[in-house]
């Protein structure tokens, strides 16, 4: 059986040029879990910046990666 792999950007930011007043976020995969019981892995991403934090949950679907839940706090 041939296995196909896909690479997809789940979340992130791009800064083609440095900006003095920008505060970039840090993104990391916090967990890979089956949160909704559909036997598929869901991706939990944590993002943070100097005054805030956010957790987002993504589902992989044939059309791509879709955010299904997000909660955060900060300014």
Tokens of 16: 């083609």
Beta bridge partners of residue 49, listed in sequence order: 52
- Please tell me the predicted confidence (pLDDT) of residue 5: 76
* pTM summary value: 0.79
- Enumerate residues 6+ apart whose C-beta is below 8 A from 1: none
pLDDT tens-place string over residues 20-40: 887 788 999 999 999 999 999
Does the pLDDT at position 8 exceed 80?
no
* Section 55-73 average pLDDT: 91
Terminal CA-to-CA distance of the chain, rounded, Å? Answer: 50
Distances (CA, A) of 12 to 2, 28, 63, 64: 30, 9, 19, 15
């Amino acid at each position: 059986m041939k296995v196909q792999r896909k690479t997809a950007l789940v979340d992130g930011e791009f800064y083609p040029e440095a900006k003095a007043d920008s505060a970039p976020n840090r993104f990391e995969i916090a967990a890979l879990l089956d949160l909704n019981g559909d036997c598929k892995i869901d991706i939990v991403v944590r993002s943070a910046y100097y005054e805030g934090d956010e957790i987002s949950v993504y589902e992989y679907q044939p059309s791509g990666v879709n955010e299904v839940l997000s909660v955060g706090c900060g300014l």
